A = this chain, B = another copy of it.
Amino acid sequence: MSNLPKQVYISEEGPREGFQIEKGPIPTADKVRFVEALAETGLKEVQCVSFVSPTRVPSMADAEKVAATINQKSGVRYTGLWLNKHGLLRAQATPLDPMAWVGLYASETFSVNNQGKGTADLIASQRAVLTYLVEQAIPLEFGIIMTAFGCNFEGDITIGRVLEQVDRLQSLVAEFNLHLPVLKLADTVGWANPDRVMRVIGAIRDKYPEQRLGLHLHDTRGTAMANAFAGLQMGVDSFDSSCAGLGGCPFAGHAGAAGNICTEDLAFMCEEMGISTGLDLDALVACAHLAEEIVGHPLPGKLMRGGTLTHFR
């Protein structure tokens, strides 16, 4: 228990993760309202939209409009996800923060299905992106290994394979004399278990002891909170999450793909263990109810129903 961090950084991805998977069109005004409410909870970073093909992800066709409409509050970063240089250029043309990242998939098949490129092609295109980032003096924020714990197409992923992809990512950024402020491991389709999380993190730590690590977890099979606790025990202090547990990947090859770990449930667990999140749990619960109102169906968050412990103490 001694390895639990004193504080954690939680990056909110609910608006992007959540609204990209919804079938019904979500009005731009609702997306903006949700982002603005999240910015009042103590969150320092809200991922608002993704700059992806409106043909593949129609729910993100209004990304520029959302970006332009948000009334930005100082002290909060409003980011947009992009998957290639075209998306990055779109992001740069908006008031959103162009969040700079590089990433590879542990599963080659998932890489091709989700991003249209295998590892070699992805590295080539990311090399071009890194060149551009360096030219523009945009700081690199994180690296990510997706499907790091398993894949619906390829099944189990060996730790050796994860390390291979980590090595490739580290070599890629080293070409530019850059380093990864955070290396995130994504359980993209909910295969992780807490023992595995510890082992994968342990293996990366052995090789890259100074590398700060983060977790991007999905709760497809109910293990997300246990996986987060496993990460916390290994000293992981950076998490992506979604308010109310919004989200899911549209290209997971799997109908039951569930949302990210729930922001307020994760923050509650951290705070109860004395790990500071800087977040107002009751305000997050109110955002979770707002999210449910916006999407028009029940969302999986628990704290939003169970309530915080504040008024019991």
Contacts and interface: CB of A to CB of B under 8 A. Distances in A.
Contacts of A223: 225, 265, 268-269, 272
A238 to B, nearest CB: 18
A303 interface: yes
Contacts of A274: 195
Task: Tell me whether chain A's interface is mostly helix, strand or loop, or mixed.
Answer: loop
Contacts of A257: 306
Interface in A129-152: 150-152
Contacts of A45: none
Interface string A203-227: 0000000000000000111111110
A120 interface: no
Identical subunits present: 2
Interface residues of A, number: 48
B220 A302 contact: yes
Interface string A294-313: 00001011110111010011
A123 interface: no
A195 B1 contact: yes
Contact of A313 (B156, B196, B221): B156
Contacts of A229: 194, 226, 229-230
A273 B155 CA distance: 16
A258 B257 CA distance: 23
Contacts of A27: none
A265 to B, nearest CB: 3
A288 to B, nearest CB: 11
Contacts of A198: 1
B225 A273 contact: no
Given A4-B195, A312-B155, A303 B230 contact: no
A281 B105 CA distance: 28
A248 to B, nearest CB: 10
Nearest to A253: B312
16 contacts: A1-B198, A190-B306, A191-B309, A193-B272, A194-B273, A196-B272, A196-B273, A220-B302, A221-B269, A222-B303, A223-B225, A223-B269, A229-B230, A256-B305, A256-B306, A300-B300
Interface of A: 1, 4, 150-152, 155-156, 190-191, 193-196, 198-199, 219-226, 228-230, 254, 256-258, 262, 265, 268-269, 272-274, 298, 300-303, 305-307, 309, 312-313
The 6 closest A-B pairs by CB, nearest first: A222-B265, A222-B302, A220-B306, A193-B272, A226-B229, A195-B273
Given A222-B262, A229-B230, 10 more contacts: A1-B195, A4-B195, A156-B313, A193-B272, A195-B273, A220-B306, A221-B309, A222-B225, A222-B265, A222-B268
